[in-house]
């Protein structure tokens, strides 16, 4: 007799529940989608994500904050379906994604779109912008071939790029313009959820602020829900309503952004905020990290942060702390809360 099917959170537009992946999951995703399950396939694998829970309600912006090894980028890939989780469940609009079939699965794929950082492979250098932005809507039959030029012009105009430049190729644009073109490409298929995966990292400060403001305007105009993955505290402070802090594949703290910035609980969160880049005249505060970040291929036992934590307890070296509620809407995973 099989157990009852998991029930989705009725308030969530997108939900990840106890999601785990292994290192190299992106390369092995094809095997997992095709149903490959070796008996001991993951018995000795190192987890890239370790039972991550994440909920996005319609219209909100959630920030994922952490270093490059934290696992935020992998969460983004799992959220949009680029990587299949080894364990856990994904829900979209109240339905388990693996249960969707045919037209419903297609709608879910289009509804979940990712904004990638400006790397050489992000925009096809051989394509003109009219095809970069317009190819997917035509292929998905959202528009007809004859409507492509007009539709692409509307998308480019919406993100602040001159439509007259749609016959140009990506290398003819600045990094900021390419970021806007990436946004145009994503919204062209009429998504409901955008995942910005270190999207702003290559941009200069002024361009970063302009693109953040553009995303905020589009969120309101198009009723989008956003997940912003970033290592930059200022980006999360500016964009996110709720913030989730990750370290080596685990969620270690989550709260409303204002609450988290005002009253951080986990020592790692405090160290991140001490390095947030804000310049205060007459005051200079440095983080209390000890040593270098461990390799994600060989994470420490117990609390992953304990080798760098200045207030680590003996228990931290053996037992991973559970994520518990320490205040209304504020959860943290730290053994120091047991001593409070």
pLDDT at residue 271 is higher than 80: yes
Give the CA radius of gyration of the chain.
21
293 or 283, higher pLDDT: 293
Kindly report, residue by residue over 186-231, the tens digit of the pLDDT.
999 999 999 998 888 888 888 888 999 999 999 999 999 999 999 8
- Does residue 298 carry a pLDDT above 90? no
Tell me the CATH number for domain 12-279+287-339.
Answer: 3.40.50.300
pLDDT at 42: 44
pLDDT tens-digit map of 89-126: 999 998 999 898 888 999 999 999 999 886 667 889 99
Residue carrying structure tokens 């099917």:
5
Beta-bridge partner residues of 15? 55, 91
Task: Report d(CA 255, CA 250) in Å as an integer.
Answer: 15
pLDDT bracket for residue 35 (50, 70, 90)? very low
DSSP H stretches of helix in 223-266: 233-239, 257-262
Domain ranges of the chain: 12-279+287-339
The whole-angstrom separation of Cα 107 and Cα 95 is 12
Angle at 29 between CA 26 and CA 34, to 5 degrees: 175
CA atoms of 241 and 255, how far apart (whole Å): 9
pLDDT at res. 38: 45
Q: What is the pLDDT of residue 272?
A: 87
CA distances for 10 relative to 3, 94, 143, angstroms: 20, 6, 32
pLDDT on residue 6: 67
Name the token pair of 264. Answer: 């951080």
| pLDDT tens digits along 323-339 | 999 999 999 999 998 87
Q: pTM score, two decimals?
A: 0.86
148, two tokens: 């492509």
Question: Would you say residue 36 has pLDDT above 90?
Answer: no
Task: Please say if the pLDDT value at position 289 is more than 60.
Answer: no
Strands (E), the chain: 14-22, 47-56, 61-65, 87-92, 95-96, 112-116, 193-197, 225-230, 242-247, 250-256, 324-327, 330-332
């Amino acid at each position: 007799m099989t157990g009852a099917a998991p029930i989705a959170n009725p308030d969530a537009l997108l939900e990840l529940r106890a999601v785990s992946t292994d290192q190299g999951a992106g390369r092995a995703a094809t095997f997992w989608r095709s149903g490959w399950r070796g008996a001991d396939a993951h018995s000795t694998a190192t987890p890239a994500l370790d039972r991550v829970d994440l909920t996005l309600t319609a219209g909100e912006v959630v920030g994922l904050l952490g270093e490059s090894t934290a696992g935020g980028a992998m969460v983004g890939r799992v959220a949009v379906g680029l990587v299949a989780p080894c364990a856990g469940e994904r829900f979209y609009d109240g339905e388990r994604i693996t249960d969707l079939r045919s037209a419903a699965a297609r709608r879910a794929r289009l509804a979940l779109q990712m904004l990638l950082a400006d790397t050489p492979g992000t925009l096809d250098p051989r394509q003109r912008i009219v095809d970069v932005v317009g190819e997917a809507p035509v292929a998905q039959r959202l528009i007809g071939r004859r409507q492509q030029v007009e539709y692409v012009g509307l998308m480019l105009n919406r993100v602040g790029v001159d439509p007259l430049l749609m016959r140009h190729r990506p290398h003819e644009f600045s990094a900021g313009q390419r970021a806007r073109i990436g946004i145009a490409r994503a919204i062209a298929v009429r998504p409901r959820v955008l995942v910005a995966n270190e999207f702003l990292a290559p941009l200069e400060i002024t361009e970063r602020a302009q693109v953040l403001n553009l995303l905020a305007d589009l969120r309101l105009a198009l009723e989008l829900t956003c997940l912003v993955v970033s290592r930059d505290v200022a980006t999360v402070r500016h964009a996110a309503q709720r913030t989730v802090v990750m370290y080596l594949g685990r969620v270690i703290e989550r709260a409303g952004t204002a609450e988290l910035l005002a009253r951080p609980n986990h020592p790692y969160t405090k160290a991140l905020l001490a390095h947030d880049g804000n310049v205060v005249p007459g005051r200079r505060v440095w983080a209390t990290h000890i040593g270098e970040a461990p390799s994600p291929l060989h994470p420490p036992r117990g609390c992953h942060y304990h080798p760098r934590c200045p207030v680590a307890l003996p228990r931290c070296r053996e037992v991973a702390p559970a994520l518990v509620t320490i205040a209304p809407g504020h959860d943290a995973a730290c053994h120091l809360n047991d001593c409070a």
